Structures are given as structure tokens and as C-alpha cells.
């Protein structure tokens, strides 16, 4: 089944789309305009915000969801065989799934605290500490993927860098999780708290993102990439109030608040939550491959 707003997203991608996998249990239509894990909505890179994750490694580990096994399998099926590069690997939430397939994996991660957690989780991966913009590949990769991190790479250079890192016909896969409180009334109440604290962009609760559009335009308009594809995965989950608050703590829009304001905001959010929160988690995946 394809909701009308899903169709809008899919049709944007339709020039070269092969198929969009919309499964039973797809998110409610509002979720497509409500991607709450938008660390920065406009996908311009905010350096201060891009380095705050390591301050909250434990919350990040505890609260952020991983990625569907099916996504990992489908990305590896799409890509040719060969070495794999991950950009912005963080603590390894996506890395673990790819490493389980025994691929030759190199991870680029600038935050040493995130990188330490990554090495503990995936000792078999080679970890390069630094930003992707400074990384000099020592081989041509069959696949470059980036989970929840591509928007942190310099927008003017990221596709050049991806192209340069890939072997001919090499694949690129960029994907993002979106986590939404399923109850619209609760979500609206949480958004009102955010607004009062000035968290008006990249909030966990506000309705807006142009991430899909930005990726669509950048990749679809770049003749160096072909065979483009969009896939969508969704499932429901239930978070304890504590895990939900850790999720808030792990998001850069809240991390950049001063500590006192953040704690007050967290108390207000906590007061609105019951013991548990129903969540709708979705993942959007964009695929392409080097045309030459
Ligand atoms: C939201 S986290 C995602 C981490 C992990 N991929 C995941 O899915 O949980 C974004 C990651 O991108 C990293 N990052 C920020 N700027 C980067 C850059 N320019 N190049 C590579 N990684 C970057 C951050 O340190 C952080 O670990």
C-alpha cells in the first residue's frame, strides 16, 4: 500500500527508481513529513553540532535504534563484491550489521569517544579517526554507506568524495532513521515544549524535513551516479520513558542547549510521558552506483 505522501516521495525519485518497498505496517501518513531525527533540517553542516555526539555516547548507545537486517542484506545485494567504506560510523549501530556479513570494512569517524565504542563493538573493522572530508582512501571501495551521518559531510564536496572513493560501478547507500511518537496529541504537546526552549529546527517532535528532497536532487542530478533506488522500512516499537529521554539527550538539537535548560526541558518532557511511549520507527534508504 502506498500513502499519498509516500507516493509524493517515491514519485520524486521516479526518474530512475526501480522499486519502492512499502511494507505492511507502513507509518501513518504524517510521518513522512515528520522525521524527528533530523539533526539539522536543511542539511547544511553545522560543525559545532556535528561533534556533540561523543558527549552522549552512553545515551546514544542506549536510545538510538539500529537498522533493519533487511536493509543491510539489500544494500549488500545491490553493491558489487569488494571492500566497504562507512562514513560517520559513530558507535557502530549500522557497522555491526554489515560486519556480521564478513565484509572487509573501513569506518571513518571523527569523534574519538564514538570511535572507541565502535572498536569495542566491531573489532574486525578498520577505524580511521577523522572527518570524511580529510580521509584519503587507500583502495577503491565497492560500497560506501552512511547511516544517519551523510548530512554532516560538506554538502559541496560529499558526492565528489563518494565518487572518488568508489571503484567503477561501486555503490553508494545513504540512510536515515526517523523516530516518531505515534500519538499525534502527545507529539504536539512535546513539540510545544521544544518551541518554548527554542528547539525549533531539528526537534524530535516538529514536522518538517527536506532531507529526502535534498538527497534526491543531489544524487539524481549528478550524472556520475546511476541506477538510483529508494527503499523504505517501517516498524512499531515501544520505548520506556527513560529510553525516550535518552533519545532526546542523544540528539544534537537538544545537546547544544545549556545544561540547565536541557534538564528543565527533559523534566517537562518526562512529565508528559507515561511509563512507556508508542513509537513508529522508519528508515529511508537511497541507493546509487557509479556510472563509470
Ligand atoms: C547521528 S551520528 C550517526 C552514527 C552512526 N552511523 C549511527 O547510525 O548510529 C553522526 C555521526 O557522524 C559523525 N560525523 C560528523 N561529521 C562527520 C564528517 N564530516 N565525516 C564523517 N563523520 C562525521 C559524528 O561524529 C557521528 O558519529
Domain-wise residue ranges, the chain:
4-290
Q: Is the CB of 109 under 6 A from ligand 1?
A: yes
pLDDT higher than 70, residue 225: yes
* Residue of minimum CA distance from atom 10 in ligand 1: 149
When pLDDT is cut at 50, 70 and 90, the band that residue 45 belongs to is: low
Percent of the chain with pLDDT over 70: 79
Indicate the fold that domain 4-290 takes in CATH: Rossmann fold (3.40.50)
pLDDT of 250: 87
Residues 124-160: pLDDT tens digits?
999 999 999 999 999 999 999 999 999 899 999 999 9
Ligand 1 geometric centre to CA of 145 (Å): 12
Q: Which of 111, 113, 89, 112 is nearest to 99 (CA)?
A: 89
Residues 2-44: pLDDT tens digits?
332 332 344 344 333 333 333 333 333 323 333 333 344 444 5
- Per DSSP bridges, beta strands 141-147 and 126-129 are unpaired
Tell me the mean pLDDT in the region 162-168: 98
3-state SS string for 44-98: CCCHHHHCCHHHHHHHHHHHCCCCCHHHHHHHHHHCCCCCEEEECCCCCCCHHHH
Q: Is the model more confident about 270 or about 20?
A: 270
Q: Which of 89-103, 180-194, 198-212, 272-286 has the lowest mean pLDDT?
A: 198-212
What's the CA angle centered on 175, arms 14 and 66, to 5 degrees? 140
Ligand 1 geometric centre to CA of 153 (Å): 9
Amino acid at each position: 500500500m502506498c500513502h499519498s505522501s509516500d507516493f509524493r516521495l517515491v514519485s520524486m525519485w521516479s526518474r530512475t527508481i526501480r522499486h519502492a518497498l512499502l511494507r505492511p505496517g507502513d507509518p501513518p501518513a504524517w510521518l513522512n513529513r515528520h522525521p524527528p531525527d533530523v539533526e539539522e533540517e536543511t542539511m547544511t553542516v553545522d560543525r559545532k553540532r556535528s561533534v556533540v555526539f561523543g558527549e552522549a555516547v552512553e545515551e546514544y548507545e542506549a536510545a538510538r535504534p539500529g537498522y533493519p537486517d533487511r536493509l543491510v542484506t539489500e544494500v549488500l545485494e545491490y553493491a558489487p563484491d569488494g571492500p566497504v567504506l562507512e562514513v560517520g560510523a559513530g558507535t557502530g549501530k549500522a557497522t555491526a550489521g554489515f560486519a556480521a556479513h564478513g565484509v572487509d570494512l573501513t569506518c571513518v569517524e571523527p569523534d574519538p569517544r564514538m570511535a572507541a565504542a565502535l572498536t569495542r563493538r566491531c573489532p574486525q573493522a578498520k577505524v580511521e579517526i577523522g572527518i570524511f572530508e580529510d580521509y584519503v582512501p587507500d583502495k577503491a571501495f565497492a560500497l560506501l554507506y552512511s547511516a544517519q551521518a551523510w548530512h554532516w559531510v560538506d554538502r559541496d564536496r560529499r558526492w565528489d568524495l563518494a565518487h572518488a572513493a568508489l571503484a567503477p560501478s561501486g555503490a553508494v547507500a545513504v540512510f536515515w532513521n526517523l523516530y516518531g511518537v505515534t500519538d499525534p496529541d502527545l507529539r504536539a504537546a512535546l513539540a510545544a515544549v521544544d518551541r518554548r526552549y527554542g528547539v525549533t529546527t531539528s526537534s524530535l517532535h516538529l514536522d518538517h524535513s527536506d532531507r529526502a528532497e535534498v538527497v534526491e536532487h543531489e544524487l539524481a542530478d549528478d550524472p556520475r551516479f546511476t541506477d538510483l533506488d529508494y527503499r523504505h522500512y517501517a516498524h512499531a516499537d515501544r520505548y520506556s520513558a527513560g529510553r525516550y529521554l535518552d533519545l532526546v539527550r542523544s540528539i544534537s538539537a537538544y545537546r547544544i542547549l545549556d545544561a540547565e535548560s536541557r534538564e528543565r526541558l527533559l523534566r517537562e518532557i518526562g512529565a508528559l510521558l507515561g511509563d512507556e511511549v508508542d513509537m513508529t520507527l522508519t528508515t529511508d534508504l537511497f541507493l546509487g552506483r557509479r556510472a563509470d
